[in-house]
Chain A
Amino acid sequence: MARRVLTRLFHTVLVVWTAASVAFLLLHWAPGDPISAMADASRVPPAQRAVWRAQQGFDQPLAVQYGRWLGQVARADFGFSTSQQRPTRDVLASRLPNTLLLMGLALLTSIAAGAALGAWQGARVGSVGDRVLSSLMLVLYAVPEFWVALLLLLLFTYYLPILPATGMVDAVFHDQMGPWEQLQDRAAHLVLPWLSLTLMGTAVFARVQRAAMRDQWREPFVRTAFAKGLTDTTVRRQVWRTALLPVVTMAGLFLPAVLTGAVFVERIFGWPGIGSALLQAIALRDYALVSACVVLGSAMTTIGSLFADLAGAWLDPRMRTT
């Protein structure tokens, strides 16, 4: 087991390195650089811009820039972010926690709500309640997250203005609040972005859980259990436990989708996370920050699938040998 984890980890590093290198090269081959991306760059004479370019080494051969960047990454230093004018490490340190809070919360609640709904449905496949919920989940599954986010914004900040529109905390009063009010303030700002991400996630997990439950009911061990005279509740719990496997696997695989959703949701709600910084970084050709985001994103993706594998092995002994 330990050896397998080690191999997979090594593999992860390799994958992340390749992905980041591809992104780095793509970025640098694309026309334009951080200097040309500055607002009103045309106002500054080309000679002046050449000076800026040389200062930051953007005029050097690609191989040199790549080597320098690799050296930086090896030291966990992602270089200087030109769009934010500070070390990329600082940008990540200030933005990543916000994204992780949003994503983590959304992922946890989606799994919890999805698993609960799916289990409830899976135990009564075909009933009216199941069919109503299934349709609802199908609809939630079908709508784009950013559209849901826009509608929530429209509904709860404009037509029924009960929630704050953007940001993480109240711009003025947050510092004067007591701890309890601060918590409330944070929660109020979190509701809409969280809901936008969670609605679709819930649908995904509910569908997986329901299908798994439905299949498990058909398994021979259920019949055996009933034959042994076990109560309905006990059997249901047993079924639910075995049916959790696909959900856990899904959790690992769903990570990139949450990440993608977070990019849109952060943009719409002005959530100061890594996603909104990334969009700006791409527009401003911020090589350092975009590359760092690719490293993070691909690391998250591979770690997610690694997690799915390991959790699968742990939950279902039959999978350990494969």
Chain B
Amino acid sequence: MTDRRKRARGRRARRWRGPLLLVGLLAAIALGAPWIAPYSPDVPPTYATQLHLPPSAAHPFGTDSFGRDVLSRVIHGSRVSLSLSVAAVSLALLLGTAYGALAGLIGGTVDRLLMRMLDVALAMPRLLLLLAVAAFFPTRLPLTAFILLLGCTGWFEVARLVRGEVQALMHRDFMLAARSLGVPRVRQLWRHLLPHLFPILAVTATLNVAGTITLEAGLSFLGLGVQPPTPSWGNIMLDGADALFANWWLTVFPGLAIMLAVLTCHALGDALRDLFAMDQLPA
């Protein structure tokens, strides 16, 4: 019995090792970008002599149409792409949890009204919404505004999940007890509901970060995301889109970086799901 449990724990540890290693790696790259990257991500003074170089020992990922080292830009881009996604998802979780918990806690007409509004929000295809807002923004869309935009359009699903979960929890004994004892609502949420919401929030977070990384890349690829010359993974691809056939390295390498990051998120999500013994994906 103990043997089996030990083996199970060993298996779980192995399951954790991979994702955690990857998360550590990505975090290290993003945080240490200025020290890790071989060159600056900006236009070098000698740009005219090193335009469109294919991958080589000096420039493993090649150079772009400004003579910038693509490896360095991918490394610096990880900062932008990852921090942006994490920040946007954090915001979405915050908003979604507040909204969902509010609806679930109060219940009744308020709940129904809030849910109807949520239905409307959920019915708007997100990409469309983002395209509309990003394209129409009157001035420079700074990084913070872009994060706000992604965060504010990303919480609807979270709210729905949280509200469902809260509603289920409300019928559990401990909540019934808390309510009959007259525990204030804020405290109910803070002390009793949040700990139970944690698993679903954690798993949702990993999935949403993955989705946001892809979304950012897509929007930047359409020229509506992060403003150049700030590198982000989608941005680098946009630089290469003009010359897909001549400079394939501008498309391939940032894409691989995105793949790595998204895989990491999924692996982490799977591991978390195992940890919390959740069978179903939060859809």
Contacts and interface: CB of A to CB of B under 8 A. Distances in A.
Interface of A: 11, 14-16, 18-19, 22-23, 26-27, 29-32, 138-139, 141-144, 146-147, 150-151, 153-154, 158, 207-208, 211, 215, 249-250, 253, 256, 259-260, 263-264, 267, 278-279, 282-283, 290, 293-294, 297-298, 301-302
Contact of B259 (A32, A142, A208, A302): A142
Contacts of A294: 124-125, 128
B192 to A, nearest CB: 26
Given A297-B128, A298-B125, A138 B258 contact: no
A260 B241 CA distance: 19
Given A26-B133, A26-B136, A139 B259 contact: yes
A143 B136 contact: no
Given A23-B128, A147-B237, A208-B281, A138 B244 contact: no
Nearest to A148: B255
Given A23-B132, A31-B138, A144-B217, A301 B123 contact: yes
Contacts of A11: 119
Contacts of B127: 259-260, 263
A72 to B, nearest CB: 20
Interface in B107-126: 116, 119-120, 122-126
A151 B125 contact: no
A298 B149 CA distance: 20
B251 A260 contact: no
Given A141-B266, A146-B221, A154-B244, A15 B132 contact: no
B103 interface: no
A158 B237 contact: no
Contacts of B218: 144, 146, 264
B120 A15 contact: yes
Contacts of A290: 132
A154 B125 contact: no
Contacts of B245: 154, 158
B132 A27 contact: yes
Nearest to A28: B136
Given A139-B259, A142-B263, A294-B124, A253 B248 contact: no
A278 B135 CA distance: 12
A313 B70 CA distance: 52
Nearest to B121: A19
Nearest to A283: B135
Size category of the B interface is 35 or more
Given A211-B281, A290-B132, A298-B123, A147 B258 contact: yes
25 contacts: A22-B124, A26-B133, A31-B136, A138-B266, A143-B258, A143-B259, A146-B218, A146-B221, A147-B217, A147-B251, A147-B259, A150-B244, A151-B252, A154-B248, A158-B245, A215-B279, A253-B283, A264-B221, A264-B222, A279-B131, A279-B222, A294-B125, A301-B122, A301-B125, A302-B119
A298 B133 CA distance: 17
| Interface residues of B, dominant DSSP | helix
A279 B131 CA distance: 8
A180 B191 CA distance: 69
Contacts of B122: 301
Contacts of A14: 116
A227 to B, nearest CB: 24
B214 interface: yes
Contacts of B255: 143-144, 147, 150-151
A146 B221 CA distance: 9
A125 B255 CA distance: 30
A318 B248 CA distance: 53
A259 to B, nearest CB: 6
A302 B123 contact: yes
A150 B210 contact: no
B124 A298 contact: yes
B203 interface: no
Contact of B251 (A19, A150, A211): A150
B138 A30 contact: yes
Given A26-B133, A142-B263, 5 more contacts: A19-B123, A139-B259, A151-B251, A256-B125, A259-B127
B125 A260 contact: yes
B262 interface: yes
A250 to B, nearest CB: 8
A211 B214 CA distance: 24
Given A15-B120, A211-B281, A142 B128 contact: no
A161 B71 CA distance: 29
Contact of B132 (A138, A144, A260, A282): A282
B252 to A, nearest CB: 7
A259 B258 CA distance: 21
A154 B237 CA distance: 14
Contact of A15 (B123, B237, B266, B280): B123
A260 B211 CA distance: 13
Nearest to A141: B266
- Most B CB contacts (10 A, CB to CB) among A15, A22, A141, A211 go to A15
A208 B251 CA distance: 30
Nearest to A250: B283
A26 B130 CA distance: 11
A22 B133 CA distance: 12
Nearest to B283: A253
Contact of A153 (B244, B258, B267): B244
